[in-house]
Amino acid sequence: MVWEPWTGCYPVSAGCKYCYYYGLYSKRYGQNNIVKTDDFYKPIETIYMPRKKITKYRIESGKIVFTCFTTDFFLPEADQWRVEAWDMIRKRSDLTFLFLTKRIDRFKISLPDDWKDGYENVRIGCSIEDQESADKRLPLYLSFPIKHKFIVCSPLIGEIDLSSYLQGIESVRAYGEAGKEARECDFKWILNLHEQCKSAKVQFDFVSTGRNFRHNGELKKINPYIQRKTARQLLPSDDGNADIQFE
Ligand code: SF4
């Protein structure tokens, strides 16, 4: 279940350079404008069931709601809309809201008053792409009160040492960059991340090779249709603690 209360974005760091939602797609669909969507009230939309004579929420209880995947939940342009978004998230405590951000530095100023040590039904993932973004965002991320924490390396464009940032992290996921202009992803970096996670007993998933993938020193172009499958074949998922599948 996807919820895009607003759409549009703009780059914040090197990882954004070829972002699908900022680049071509945004030009075609005018997504450089940050706008509220028609789906804004989706979590609290109801339907009437004439036979049973009851009104119920359109989104059934227990679902995971993937939120703001074509934008960033913490965009400053969305500050005024976010207040209502938090109200809906609070109201639908029977759903799990999951989002990623490259703007974790805006966490504190974007919170509702009653956040305290975090809402149980909110999972916020910190998105990083290289060592520079890891060193900048992860110390902040680890210091914030969030009930469920996970790291997403997307797009992975350099080797990252995460070993000092894994305490309290539930999982790490890694994606090579997609698209024609993609920067390369080296399988050595993936294996290295996997080892770091193993040592820290954190679940690791290699989700996608991306377009330009270096394997055993050789750079290969991977067809978009098999990027995920190839990643799974090279490094099957650690499924020990997996409770959420993004795809
Ligand atoms: S923050 Fe995310 S959605 Fe926004 S431009 Fe960067 S990669 Fe794209």
Ligand 1 within 6 A of CB of 89: no
Quote the CA–CA distance of 31 and 111 in Å, as a whole number: 25
User: How far is CA 170 from its chain centroid?
Assistant: 14
Nearest CA to ligand 1 atom 1: 102
Q: Is the CB of 128 under 6 A from ligand 1?
A: no
Is the minimum distance from the CB of 12 to ligand 1 under 6 angstroms?
yes
Distance between Cα 203 and ligand 1 center (Å): 25
Q: Is 106 in the pocket of ligand 1 (CB under 6 A)?
A: no
Q: Where are the domains of the chain?
A: 2-153
Tell me how crowded residue 183 is: count the other CB atoms within 10 A of its CB. Answer: 20
Angle at the Cα of 56 from the Cα atoms of 54 and 57, rounded to 5 degrees: 170
The answer to whether 228 touches 205, Cβ cutoff 8 Å, is no
Does residue 245 register a pLDDT over 90?
no
pTM for the whole structure: 0.91
pLDDT, tens digit, for every residue of 167-211? 999 999 999 999 988 999 999 999 999 999 999 999 999 999 999
Other Cβ atoms within 10 Å of 25 Cβ, number:
12
* Cα-based angle 70, 73, 77 (whole degrees, multiple of 5): 95
Single-letter amino acid code for the residue at 169:
I
**Residues 96, 148: contact at Cβ < 8 Å?**
no
Report CA(109)–ligand 1 centroid distance (Å): 19
Say whether pLDDT at 246 is over 50: no
pLDDT at 240 > cutoff 60: no
Q: What is the DSSP string of 91-123?
A: HTTTSEEEEEES-GGGTGGG--TT-TT--TTEE
- Percentage of the chain with pLDDT > 70? 91
Contact 48, 55 (CB under 8 A): yes
Q: Is the CB of 16 under 6 A from ligand 1?
A: yes
Indicate if ligand 1 lies below 6 Å from the C-beta of 11: yes
Q: Write out pLDDT tens, residues 138-147.
A: 999 999 999 9
Asked if residues 132 and 14 have their Cβ atoms less than 8 Å apart, the reply is: yes
Is the distance from the beta carbon of residue 21 to the nearest atom of ligand 1 less than 6 Å? yes
Query: Phi, psi (5° rounding) for residue 150?
Result: -150, 155
48-61 burial code (b ≥16 CB/10 A, e <16): eeeeeeeeebebee
pLDDT tens readout for residues 116-135? 999 999 999 999 999 999 99
> How far, in Å, from the CA of 6 to the mean position of ligand 1?
13
Strand locations in 11-166 (E): 35-36, 46-49, 54-57, 64-67, 96-101, 122-128, 148-153
Residue nearest to atom 6 of ligand 1 (CA): 16
Percent of the chain with pLDDT over 90: 83
> In angstroms, how far is the first alpha carbon of the chain from the final one?
11
Ligand 1 proximity of 25 Cβ (cutoff 6 Å)? no
The 3-state DSSP class for residue 234 equals: helix
Q: Which ligand 1 atom sits nearest the alpha carbon of residue 9?
A: 4
Higher pLDDT, 18 or 60: 60
